[in-house]
Structure 1
Amino acid sequence: MDNIELFERVGLAIAIGAAVGVERHWRERDEPAGARTAGIRTFTMIGMLGGIAGLIERSLAPTSVYPGIVTIGFLIAVTVVMTLFELREAIAEESFSATSVITAILTFGLGVLAVTGDMVLASAAGAALVTLLASREFLHGAIRRLQWVELRSAVILLAMTFVLLPIIPAEPVGPFGGISPRSLVLLVITLASISFAGYIAVRLLGTSRGDVVAGGIGGLVSSTGTTVAFARRSRQGADPTSLAAGAISAGALSLLRTAFLIGTLAVSLLPGLLLPIGVGAVLMLAYAFFLSSRQPSMDDGHSPANPFELPAIARMAALLAAVAFLARAATLYFGDAGLIAASALSALADVDATTVTVAGMLPALDPKLAARAIGVGVLVNMVVKAIYAAIFGSRGFAVHLWMATLLSVSAGLTADWLQDAV
């Protein structure tokens, strides 16, 4: 390692300390001199100290009998000094917090890593540390606002991802080629995580920001469910125009979500489907914002159901498995027409199952047939949501849903035709 790289590494260690120090100093910027334990200068020096410790370790490595002894010694010294001063400050202010001590330890450790290890990892971890420190108010507010049911759902997500998923067999089981249980669970985690992110956004932002925002985020949870819920509210006397804007934005976000799943699970199909789906989503968003601009939204505090509860997970897994078997069986017995019919039937509830199933049948499935099956699923799901709006909603609500659907479908089909013609 030449001197230039050593300077770069020590410079990174100092920069990490300075970045942390800026955040720490800014938080206590109104305190008089001598009233804070550590600010920009102290944390910059802690980062530098970590870099120097790493340099000493590197120079002593060929002859050292106890590798790491220098780093451990410096770390103990930093920890003891920061703990003593933080203790005095806590007693004076009658507060309890170990954040600054842990931050100092992490800053020192990242300084050592910058010199002795991967610089990219050190810089990324430093950025993550500063982001975490700067997000204190947001995180505390989120914890206060969220309920135990949401936190429990997050625990379920972590358990499914890191405990359950590794031990589930990957070999396909069942008829018609079978389904891999591990792949099924992974898809359930992926879809439910997207939905859960939208749900948490609604809980944190609140539906008071408008039905367009709430409906759009609800589209990440379930555009079909959001449309039915908004339709029922419109029949109960709520503003149909505002609710229609929310339901249309839910449909637009559902289209974007479908495009994301295609790009993730079946990227080979994305070039043929991105333009019609994208055009349809843009038109629906434009229509939704046009409606919302005409009058303010009327919020009654409704928010979508938590999508990561155990019953929701079980239903999602059952739907994915059922649609997968149905599509494979229909393809085997009825050929291309069977797959199209299965896609249309599954889209009566949700288009995700169709997208996931068709993507899972690649590359054995013909790409044109796969794209057609997903397209039919998207089309049927859009039309059926307009039908649900007419059944469960008020007349004004249904009219707007049908107009947005017809505009979006027409534009999407036109874009698909032009794309094929070119």
Structure 2
Amino acid sequence: MDNVELFQRVGLAVAIGAAVGVERHWRERDEPEGARTAGIRTFTMIGMLGGVAGLIERSLIERSLGAASAYPGIVTIGFLLAVAAVMALFELREAIAQHSFSATSVIAAILTFGLGVLAVTGDMVPASAAGATLVAILASRDFLHGAIRRLQWVELRSAVILLAMTFVLLPVIPSDPVGPFGGISPRSLVLLVITLASISFAGYIAVRMLGPSRGDMVAGAIGGIVSSTGTTIAFARRSREGANPISLAAGAVSAGAVSLARTAFLVGTLAASLLPALLLPVCVAAVLMLAYALFLSFRQQVATERQPPGNPFELVAVAKMAALLAGVAFLARAATQYFGDTGLIAASAISALADVDAVTVTVAGMRPALDAGLAARAIGAAVLANMAAKAVYATIFGSRPFAIHLWAATLLSTVAGLAAESLQAWISG
């Protein structure tokens, strides 16, 4: 390692300490001199101390010519104990004087020292990322404390369930499909449950933060990136539970607009030759759906806003919705096998009852062997079938006003898209 890199590494250690020190000093900026345990100078020196400890460790390793040291890490451990002891002592005296209880500055000092060591002896990228994360956590104290005060038990329980399903249950579920026609993968089914629950939870949080008029629309747009079908079903269920159907319809329609834009992006990325036939009708339909969602959102702003539902998601209801979508996908694969290549359009429409992305990727992947006109018609049929399916799901799972707005947006955007396609064909022909 040359001297330039060593200076860079030590400079990163100092920068991490300075960044933490700025946040600590700013928080206690009104305190008189000598009334705070550590500020910008102290934390900058703690970061430098970590870098120096790392330099000493590297020097000892280099002098031993690769031989195993009898006491590896002894220098780092010694410095770390000294920093922790000094910080704990002065923080204790400050706590006694101010009658407060907090170990944040001590932990921050230990982390700053450790990141300084890592910057010199390890990878600089994780060290800098961890330093930025540490400063962000320290700076967000008021936000985090306020969020905890506003947190309800049902929200905490839902978050714990999501984390358990994602990081405990999902890794141990087998991924091999079970059953005929390609079967159903248990892991994919659990992942679908997690996706639907996450959409519902994200929508709940967005409504809590932004209010129903804007929160549902933003949550719907985000959910449309993952699954517009799942978002529609999740919002439909909430509308039947008593949440405001107008704002929820705005969210579901915005999810449909994002889904159309995503389809156009996939086609342009995977099969650009199909764009001339699909881009105009798909974009016209997407713009019209977005305009309808904005209309519903602005209309809701003048109405009395209700509180979000009392539960971010019901796991049983979410599991039922996931089973429904998995069953539709299973039937679609069976139909595809029976229809064969000659029934590509019908098979695409059936498959899109659950998801349009799989059809788009599959058909685009068949180019250039597949005729461009047939491929464009197959994707177009899938888009229309998926839009109609979401309106039907809204009718089955949602309240009457919610379903009416979904049908209105679907019909208007479908007519506009077909008109744009006809106009394009007339101009080109």
The answer to whether the superposition gives a TM-score over 0.5 is yes
Deviations 1:344-378, CA, capped at 9 Å, x for gaps? 6x4xxxxxx32476579789988838734541333
Equivalence for 1:331:
336
Deviations 1:125-172, CA, capped at 9 Å, x for gaps? 111111111222222222222222222222222222222222222222
**CA gap 1:293/1:60 in 2 versus in 1, 3 angstroms:** same
Equivalent of residue 321 in structure 1, options 319, 326, 338: 326
Equivalence for 1:140:
145
**Aligned ranges for residues 345-364 of structure 1 at < 5 Å?**
346=353, 353-355=354-356, 358=359
**Aligned ranges for residues 265-304 of structure 1 at < 5 Å?**
268=270, 279-290=284-295, 293=298, 296-304=301-309
Equivalence for 1:349:
none
Equivalence for 2:254:
252
Deviation at 1:274, TM superposition (A): 7.6
**CA gap 1:58/1:356 in 2 versus in 1, 3 angstroms:** same
**CA gap 1:381/1:135 in 2 versus in 1, 3 angstroms:** farther
Structure 1 unpaired stretches of 5+ = 347-352
Structure 2 residue 171 is matched with structure 1 residue 162: no
Deviation at 1:416, TM superposition (A): 6.3
Equivalent of residue 85 in structure 1, options 84, 90, 102: 90
Tell which deviates more after alignment, 185-194 or 166-175.
185-194
**Aligned ranges for residues 61-140 of structure 1 at < 5 Å?**
61-62=61-62, 63=64, 64-140=69-145
TM-score by length of 1: 0.79
User: Over aligned residue pairs, what C-alpha RMSD do you find?
Assistant: 4.0
Equivalent of residue 393 in structure 1, options 395, 401, 408: 401
How many Å separate the matches in 1 of 2:364 and 2:286?
A: 27
How many Å separate the matches in 1 of 2:216 and 2:209?
A: 11
CA contact (8 A) 1:212 1:289 kept: no
**Could you tell me which amino acid in structure 2 is paired with residue 223 of structure 1?**
T
Deviation at 1:404, TM superposition (A): 4.2
CA contact (8 A) 1:251 1:382 kept: no
- Length, aligned pairs only: 402
Equivalence for 1:213:
215
Tell which deviates more after alignment, 223-232 or 293-302.
223-232
Equivalence for 2:25:
25
Deviation at 1:319, TM superposition (A): 2.0
Deviations 1:220-240, CA, capped at 9 Å, x for gaps? 373355368669979xxx9xx
How many Å separate the matches in 1 of 2:153 and 2:188?
A: 29
Deviation at 1:87, TM superposition (A): 1.4
How many Å separate the matches in 1 of 2:415 and 2:219?
A: 25
Tell which deviates more after alignment, 329-338 or 65-74.
329-338
**CA gap 1:260/1:159 in 2 versus in 1, 3 angstroms:** farther
Deviation at 1:408, TM superposition (A): 2.9
**CA gap 1:106/1:374 in 2 versus in 1, 3 angstroms:** farther
Deviations 1:244-297, CA, capped at 9 Å, x for gaps? 466234311343257669979x97479857875555344333344356557843
**CA gap 1:8/1:232 in 2 versus in 1, 3 angstroms:** closer
Q: Percent identity?
A: 63
**CA gap 1:413/1:310 in 2 versus in 1, 3 angstroms:** same
Equivalence for 1:350:
none
TM-score by length of 2: 0.78
Equivalent of residue 377 in structure 1, options 385, 390, 393: 385
Deviation at 1:312, TM superposition (A): 3.4
Tell which deviates more after alignment, 36-45 or 1-10.
36-45
Structure 2 unpaired stretches of 5+ = 224-229
CA contact (8 A) 1:10 1:51 kept: yes
